[in-house]
A and B are shown apart, each in its own frame.
Chain A
Amino acid sequence: MGLLSRKVTCNSHGQDSSYFLGWLEYEKNPYDEVKNPRGIIQMGLAENQLSFDLLESWLDKNPDVAGFKRDGQSIFKELALFQDYHGFPAFKKALLDFMAEIRGNKVTFDPNRIVLTAGATSANETLMFCLAEQGDAFLLPTPYYPGFDRDLRWRTGVEIVPIKCTSSNRFKITASALEDAYQRAQRKNLRVKGVLVTNPSNPLGTTMTREELDLLVNFITDKEIHLISDEIYSGTVFSSPAFVSIMEVFKDQNLEKTEIWERVHIVYSLSKDLGLPGFRVGAIYSNDPIVVAAATKMSSFGLVSSQTQYLLSAMLSDKKFTKEYIAKNHKRLRKRRSMLVAGLEKAGIDCLESNAGLFCWVDMRHLLSSDTFEAEMELWKRIVYDVKLNISPGSSCHCTEPGWFRVCFANMSEDTLKLAMQRLKSFVGSITGNDRSHQELKNSRRKFSSKWVFRLSFQSFHDREQDER
């Protein structure tokens, strides 16, 4: 053929990564309590399934909205025709109020600065198109969400340079790591346009400290670059320390009217906080009017369905509902995380202390046959094929140290989570049994690992929308 663009034939879409093997296996053999109790339990999917009853109960009390009505009158036609890329004003207001509420109303948002996009996927790509040229780079702390490799780079031609964070200080961002990343970019002749952080972090499940945020502000001031703060998990902060948004830091430091302020951009979405990934509701909030203007026009390529804007404007305008939802959602997430942590403890497994997100960052370094990524892959495959849990290996998140895994806890029932933990406990018990020598253990692992044929063929992967956030 040879007639297609390079984008078709390259693999910057990222789906050739070994990571997708787990997905493939899950889809061949998905766990079902009744129909397939020995199937693979999905723990690689950062979905929030804990609070649908609250949403459904709201719908039940608001039949007008459900039936495309306002004050008893049909507004179907108006909705069907509404394609204004400025977005439905009532929805923008409701969304911004919700975002402010999540931030304890310590910051206020300006409706003229928000741009609606089809999910955070679209928001992140759009920001790259606005802020960077082909061949420029953004710095990202590791570990990071695997989807960024596609969203930030594929069609934009922008590069990612990792800011290496390590377990020695619980993966916090340090000044030296920032500087080191910047220098590495320079050596590769890449012009650094900014830093992108996810706060709360995926996959760590932690919120950034004020010190880290201050560091970032100093860094972007010094280097005169942009800062994108992907705050998609901001509504999932279920225990202290409280979430501190980058907006708050600027406000507290009286930097709101400065030029640096215009280089700060926030990405948001309702996919995690409200558990509505299917509805494709994303947003860019930027303090730079040029970015807002350009991103607004670009949003034409991925607007939010007017039907969805209308539903959610009504829902999020109901302040009684949002207050109750936020509180209950937090409580349920907190409880669910505790269950996971307790289950892991029983299996002799630790995880990073975390206060947010829909997952834990689990430490399985002690279960590796060697301190290598190959050993991590070996262990991972055993967990997928043998223990029948689909979890996400740290290498897929570009973690610099092998042995860490992201394990999701909010996308299944309590019973399923308990079963997953039992399986894990049995597995760990079987490989760390007291009467087996270390050498025997290593030998048995090698036998296992030779069975697994590692297929990277493009055709063999079942393509799927990125659910692994």
Chain B
Amino acid sequence: MVSMSKIATGNGHGENSPYFEGWKAYETNPFHPIDRPDGVIQMGLAENQLCFEFIKKWLMEHPEASVCTSEGVGRFKETALFQDYHGMPEFRQAVAKFMGKVRGDRVKFDPERIVMSGGATGAHETVAFCLADPGEALLLPTPYYPGFDRDLRWRTGVELVPVICESCNNFQITRNALEAAYEKAGEDGLRVKGLLITNPSNPLGTIMDRDTLKSIVRFVNEKNIHLIGDEIYAATVFKSPEFVSISEVIEEVECDRDLIHIVYSLSKDMGFPGFRVGIIYSYNDAVMNCARKMSSYGLVSSQTQHLIATMLNDHDFVDDFIVESREQLFKRHEYFTWSLSQVGIGSLKGNGGLFIWMDLRKLLKDNTFEGEMDLWRVIINEVKLNVSPGSSFHCHEPGWFRVCFANMDDNTMEVALSRIRAFILKNNESIVPRKLCRRSSLKLSLSRSLSRRIDDFMSPTGIMSPHSPLPQSPLVRART
């Protein structure tokens, strides 16, 4: 009897991890403000839902962005036929320009180097196929996005070697950690082909400073290995320090550009994960050409290319969007972290991403990963919040959790916060600060720039988010 491949029957897809228990709990009992007010609130999904009204307004004013409206149908046929893996020129121009704007126009991206992929998921797999053969390895700083275990390894046969980062220096990547990982790989008989960094970081929500980035660029040049910069959260940096891209640093440090590759997507910055817009931007011509051929396996739908091209070629809209998005993320982040601090819960100081890296070490009964899992189950089953345990991100230390804040409306956020408060007060009074600030004194304790926005928090408006994107569909599966 013929068998299937090991890839098909094995666990390389990574979905058997306990991480998905939280998903199951959520899917069997998802929160809904009216139908299921005691359901599980999804805080494990790094989606950016804060700017849809802004985008919808633009769409209503630009029916030509769809090739199906009477204004756009003149382009329907040529769009429907367009399957050139180079991608539409206007799409590439729009994306290149957007990427530049997100980096404050400090660098320019060449539209001819833009290569499409099936989301960042497809981009990562393709880059791994291009840079490494089966059995070779990539270094990854921990904690890292769980999907990398699948995207970089599953069908490629590439191995991942962690670069251990620790809370004692806020999980920053150190030269020592890089060297240690490189050596360990060597000892294990693995040939290291590259280093992949996610900047801004998932799950940390922090950005890498210029010096760290320079040090990383020097490291890869010395070892003659590739550097893959996943900059999928570039536009989610909502306060200083400003985001610094690999593309900027290579202008400042001597570097073999053939080693440098950027992965990007519109899933986080614009909140469009459903449209599957992934981008590979490699400074290496051979990699660019190869990735372009491989993009056949995950081209961006031409219908979507047209929409994105029209939208992102509207530079006024883009400028306004970037500002609006940052403001919304800032508001949400500040309110959320402040509210948590009121009950003694801290998080890593972050300025980007769609989540916080929450520090619950004080709540662990045992300072072990079993202790972390126990706490996590309590959070899911009793507090009814789906948050992501640090171990699923290969964090080296137990007690950290990633908590997403941008995938829900203000009301749901309030419910989540009240549940957290109730849980802490009930179980762990010792960690709550003596004086619990009440909302009425909120304005006094926050900085002037924030207080202007407090009224927005205090009288929540906003549309109730549905518990699932489409009424008749099953709930969205975990992707991040």
Interface residues of A (CB under 8 A from B): 1, 3-9, 13, 15, 47, 49, 52, 55-56, 59-60, 63, 65-68, 74-86, 88-90, 118-119, 121-122, 125, 129-134, 150-151, 155, 193-194, 224-226, 259, 263, 271, 275-280, 288, 290-291, 294-295, 297-298, 300-308, 311, 463-467
Contacts and interface: CB of A to CB of B under 8 A. Distances in A.
B472 A79 contact: no
A301 B274 contact: no
B286 A4 contact: yes
A9 B289 CA distance: 11
B276 A303 contact: yes
A131 B292 contact: no
B418 interface: no
A278 B79 contact: yes
B273 interface: yes
Given A60-B73, A301-B297, A463-B85, A85 B477 contact: yes
Contacts of A89: 472-474
B333 interface: no
Nearest to A466: B296
Contact of A59 (B4, B76, B271, B299): B76
B299 A465 contact: yes
Nearest to A7: B129
Interface residues of B, number: 90
Given A4-B287, A66-B68, A15 B52 contact: no
Interface of B: 1-2, 4-9, 13, 15, 47, 49, 52, 55-56, 59, 63, 66, 68-70, 72-73, 76-77, 79-86, 118-119, 121-122, 125, 129-134, 136, 150-151, 154-155, 193, 224-226, 258-259, 267, 271-276, 284, 286-287, 289-290, 292-294, 296-304, 307, 466, 469-470, 472-477, 479
Contacts of B47: 81
B68 A133 contact: no
A8 B287 contact: yes
B302 A279 contact: yes
11 contacts: A3-B226, A8-B286, A49-B81, A63-B69, A83-B476, A88-B470, A118-B118, A125-B297, A129-B8, A304-B301, A305-B304
B241 to A, nearest CB: 30
B197 to A, nearest CB: 18
A83 B85 contact: no
B276 A305 contact: yes
A280 B295 CA distance: 12
Contact of A82 (B118, B119, B150, B473): B473
Contacts of B287: 4, 8
Contacts of B475: 84
Most chain A beta-carbon neighbours within 10 Å: one of B47, B73, B226, B275: B275
A131 B4 contact: yes
B81 A277 contact: yes
Given A89-B473, A279-B80, 13 more contacts: A5-B136, A6-B133, A68-B59, A77-B52, A78-B466, A79-B274, A119-B296, A129-B5, A132-B5, A151-B296, A155-B294, A290-B4, A467-B83
B202 to A, nearest CB: 16
A56 B81 CA distance: 14
A308 B304 contact: yes
A304 B284 CA distance: 28
Contacts of A134: 134
Given A277-B81, A308-B303, A301 B298 contact: yes
Nearest to B157: A134
A129 B121 CA distance: 17
Contacts of A263: 2
A306 B275 contact: yes
Contacts of B82: 277-278
B68 A76 contact: no
A67 B479 contact: no
Given A122-B298, A225-B2, A80 B274 contact: yes
Contacts of B86: 463-465
Most chain A beta-carbon neighbours within 10 Å: one of B52, B68, B133, B477: B68
A30 to B, nearest CB: 13
A1 B121 contact: no
A463 B87 CA distance: 12
Contacts of A277: 80-83
Given A8-B286, A76-B52, A82-B469, A118 B297 contact: yes
Contacts of A300: 118-119, 121-122, 150-151, 479
B404 to A, nearest CB: 13
Contact of B131 (A3, A81, A193, A224): A3
B9 A74 contact: no
Contacts of A280: 83, 299-302
Contacts of B4: 130-131, 288, 290-291, 294
Contact of A464 (B49, B84, B129, B304): B84
Most chain A beta-carbon neighbours within 10 Å: one of B271, B276, B286: B276
Given A1-B258, A278-B302, A300-B121, A80 B76 contact: no
A305 B79 CA distance: 14
A7 B272 contact: no
Contacts of A133: 5-7
Given A52-B76, A76-B59, A86-B477, A1 B2 contact: no
Contacts of B290: 4, 7-8, 13
Contact of B477 (A84, A302, A308, A467): A84
Nearest to A14: B293
Contacts of B299: 118-119, 280, 465
A121 B131 contact: no
A294 B469 contact: no
B81 A294 contact: no
A150 B85 CA distance: 14
A304 B474 CA distance: 17
B476 A194 contact: no
Nearest to A45: B81
Nearest to A294: B8
Contacts of A6: 133
Contacts of A298: 13, 154-155
A259 B2 CA distance: 11
A6 B259 CA distance: 16
Contacts of A129: 5, 7-8, 155
A303 B477 CA distance: 13
A423 B290 CA distance: 38
B296 A67 contact: no
Given A76-B55, A130-B8, A194-B2, A82 B476 contact: yes
Contacts of B225: 3
B235 to A, nearest CB: 15
Contact of B69 (A67, A78, A288): A67
A348 B203 CA distance: 69
Nearest to B294: A155
Given A226-B2, A311-B303, A463-B289, A82 B274 contact: yes
A297 B154 CA distance: 11
Contacts of A121: 296-297
B83 A305 contact: no
| Nearest 10 pairs of A and B residues by beta carbon | A278-B302, A306-B274, A66-B68, A302-B298, A305-B301, A465-B85, A294-B8, A302-B118, A78-B469, A82-B274
B258 A275 contact: no
Nearest to B295: A465
A120 B258 CA distance: 32
A305 B271 contact: no
Given A4-B286, A130-B8, A464-B86, A65 B68 contact: yes
A118 B121 CA distance: 13
Contacts of B301: 118, 278-280, 304-305, 307-308
Given A89-B474, A155-B155, A278 B5 contact: no
B81 A47 contact: yes
Contacts of B477: 83-86
Contacts of A297: 13, 15, 150
Contacts of A66: 63, 66, 68-70, 72-73
